Amino acid sequence: MCEESQFLACGQNFHQQTAIDFNRVAQNVCRRAELGEDRCTHHINEMLVLQERIGFSILEQQQGHPRNLSVLRRQYWIRRRLRETGRPLPRQRAPRKHCLWQCVFVSTLPITRGIDIGDEGGIEKEALGLVQLQLDTWGPLIFVSPSPEPAPLEEFLDGIPERIAEAGIDLDSLRFLQRSESELDCNWKVSAENFLECYHCPTAHPGFSAVMDVSVDAYLLETSGGRMTQHGPPRPEPRGAYDPTGEVERGQFHLLFPGTVINVMPGRPNFSIGPIVPSAPEKTYRFLDYFVAADADEAWIEESLAFDAQVGAEDRVLIERVQAGMRAGVIEDGRLLPESEQLIAHFQALVVDALA
């Protein structure tokens, strides 16, 4: 049994930890623009999702809606996939449903085409079918939940769209810039907790701290349900590799439990979003989709991406060293700072509640 201090380091209850809430809440998987592709893949927790285009004309005829994603009832369909199979995703004809897309997982079950289900012990054909996923949107973003009854997306986002709009950012008017992917040698909770405090910033992120005012009075922390938020202004006289002057006056950095990260830096309109995905007890997959204003200056974009990449590289060193230290098992327990680490305390309480 894991000692309490080793909870983040060991694999005990790993699948229980990842399934309870990663499969319960909405997760950002892609952008609406990607729905124009005939075939692409996404991840939801440990499951690889294949998205395939199916007939627009049938949908329009039967539902009477124009080709507008905001009014279509979109459904995702899936099959389960076991990671260890390593089998390629099959090309299959989509079920004739009133849906725009299907998502399938590779199944350990044999493909039922050509099989007489009546000879298979009375198994109902529907029991071997695809499972419906719930889909919702926020601006250009697609959120999917494996849960049959997920919390409404508006409830999950907990006022963040309003905060983004109040900052002067029109999410629909931004253009997609790029997706940055990474894999970290750490438990997913270590990555999340690293995101949730910034008292390490002056030491570990000198470039970030030269731009942002990370003093206790300026850099504010707040919690609300599953939302953990940090926000603050740039320094009065910022220095360093990023220019924070522009319409957006304050930075805001959110984590929606269990692992959706949303960032806005002060300066010109910008936005990034992506998940923290547990892929093994000591492996975490992450991506961030970056958005900027349609007329954003290319020199500023390059500066912004380099600035963020530097912070990410610095965080990687911290995170992976923390994981290695916990794996050693020398320190049996630790203390949380009640003010500086209040978001971590809230996060840990949510983890415990999810496992209860």
SS3 per-residue string spanning the chain: CCCHHHCCCCCCCHHHHHHHHHCCCCEEEEEHHHHHCCEEEEEECCEEEEEEECCHHHHHHHHCCCCCCCCCCCCEEECCCCHHHCCCCCCCCCCCCCCCEEEECCCCCCCCCCCCHHHCCCCCHHHHCCEEEEEEEECCEEEEECCCCCCCHHHHHCCHHHHHHHCCCCHHHCEEEEEEEEEECCCHHHHHHHHCCCCCHHHHCHHHHHHECCCCCCCEEEEECCEEEEEECECCCCCCCCCCCCCECCEEEEEECCCEEEEECCECCEEEEEEEEEEECCEEEEEEEEEECCCCCHHHHHHHHHHHHHHHHHHHHHHHHHHHHHHHCCCCCCCCCCCCCHHHHHHHHHHHHHHC
What is the value of pTM for the model shown? Answer: 0.78
- Matching residue, tokens 């492996």: 283
Say what the pLDDT of residue 99 is.
32
> Angle between the 14-22 and 342-355 helix axes, to the nearest 10 degrees?
100
Contact 47, 81 (CB under 8 A): yes
Check whether residue 62 and residue 202 sit in a common domain: no
145, 187: one domain: no
Residues 177 and 245 reside in one and the same domain: yes
- Do residues 120 and 239 share a domain? no
Total domains in the chain come to 2
Give all strands of the β-sheet with 39-44 in edge-to-edge order: 39-44, 47-53, 101-104
Among residues 115, 150, 185, which one ends one of the domains?
Answer: 150
Report the distance separating Cα 117 and Cα 346, nearest Å. Answer: 50
231 shares its domain with 211: yes
Instruction: Return the residue matching tokens 């995703």.
Output: 89
Whether 131 and 175 share a structural domain: no
- Identify whether 195 is part of a domain: yes
Let me know: does 244 contact 234? Beta carbons within 8 Å: yes
pLDDT the model gives residue 238:
94
| Within-domain flag for 31 | yes
Instruction: Give the span between the Cα atoms of 254 and 138, in whole angstroms.
Output: 16
Please classify residue 282 by burial: count the beta carbons closer than 10 Å to its beta carbon, then call 0-12 exposed, 13-18 middle and 19+ buried.
buried
pLDDT at 307 (0 to 100)? 97
Residue 14 lies in a domain: no
| Single-letter residue type at 147 | S
Q: What is the pLDDT along the chain (356 residues), one digit of tens a residue?
A: 344 445 555 555 665 665 556 767 788 887 877 765 554 555 555 444 444 443 222 222 233 333 332 222 233 333 333 333 454 444 444 333 333 333 333 233 334 445 565 566 666 655 555 556 677 889 999 888 777 777 889 999 999 999 999 999 999 999 999 999 999 999 999 999 999 999 999 999 999 999 999 999 999 999 999 999 999 999 999 998 899 999 999 999 999 999 999 999 999 999 999 999 888 899 999 999 999 999 999 999 999 999 999 999 999 999 999 999 988 888 777 889 999 999 999 999 999 998 87
**126, 150, 174: which is the final residue of a domain?**
150
Establish if 350 belongs to a structural domain: yes
Provide the pLDDT for residue 131: 57
> Are 206 and 239 found together in one domain?
yes
Residue 2 lies in a domain: no
Q: How far apart are CA 150 and CA 25, in angstroms?
A: 6
Expressed as residue numbers, the domain containing 181 is 160-355
Q: Are residues 144 and 190 in the same domain?
A: no
Residues 132 and 260 in one domain: no
Phi, then psi, of 30 in degrees rounded to 5: -165, -175
**Residues 166, 130 within the same domain:** no
Q: Examine the fold and report which residue of 119, 150, 181 is the final residue of a domain before the chain moves on.
A: 150
Q: Do 143 and 164 share a domain, yes or no? A: no
